[in-house]
């Protein structure tokens, strides 16, 4: 079955409403074209509801966002000038893309903005999922912990000079 390889978030410490980038890589021993669908859930726990849940198709070059009702919305071609939104996040489709599709790996970069009030707990983890064409097998969800921490409230920085 296909497998999740890595997930990172930048910057790792965010203020609510700030834009961030999620980069995720999946692998299939039969080549990246065998990857039927790849998904990323960003939340403090693995659940589709109340999450920033992204769905993509490497072969179709598309991305969608799962809504608050846990139903996948419309798929858009990466690069399309549109923002996908639910109560947890907004995805900037124009500035998101598959950054690499080569050999056995596919890597996607998603530009996201987390809404104020999300998450209700920190840190945010990434849960990656993939399914292949050949056997219709899934790689299951693989957790990549602590890719973001959202900082609420004012931050005080004190610098002391001697």
Q: What string of pLDDT tens digits covers the 162 residues of the chain?
A: 788 888 888 888 887 788 999 999 999 999 999 999 999 999 988 988 889 999 999 999 999 999 999 999 999 999 999 999 999 999 999 999 999 999 999 999 999 999 988 887 888 899 999 999 988 888 888 988 888 887 765 443 444 454
**φ, ψ (nearest 5 deg) of residue 34:** -80, -10
pTM of the predicted model, to two decimals?
Answer: 0.89
For residue 75 the two structure tokens come to 């798929």
Torsion of CA 110, 112, 118, 123, to 10 degrees: 50
Give strand pairing partners of 27: 3, 105
Q: β-strand 13-14 against 142-150: which pairing, if any?
A: parallel
Q: Report how far apart, in Å, the C-alpha atoms of 69 and of each of 30, 117, 128 are.
A: 34, 18, 20
Give residue 157's pLDDT.
Answer: 44
């Amino acid at each position: 079955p296909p497998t999740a390889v890595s997930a990172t978030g930048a910057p790792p410490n965010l203020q609510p409403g700030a834009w961030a980038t999620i980069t995720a890589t999946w692998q299939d021993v039969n080549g990246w074209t065998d990857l039927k669908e790849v998904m990323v859930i960003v939340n403090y726990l693995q659940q589709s509801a109340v999450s920033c849940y992204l769905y993509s198709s490497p072969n179709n070059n598309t991305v969608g966002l799962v809504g608050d009702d846990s139903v996948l919305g419309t798929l858009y071609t990466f690069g399309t000038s549109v923002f996908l939104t639910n109560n947890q996040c907004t995805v900037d489709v124009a500035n998101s893309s598959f950054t690499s599709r080569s050999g056995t790996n596919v890597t996607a970069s998603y530009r996201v903005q987390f809404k104020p009030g999300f998450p209700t707990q920190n840190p945010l983890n990434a849960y990656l999922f993939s399914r292949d064409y050949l056997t219709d097998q899934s790689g299951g969800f693989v957790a990549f912990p602590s890719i973001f921490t959202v900082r609420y409230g004012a931050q005080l920085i004190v610098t002391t000079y001697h």
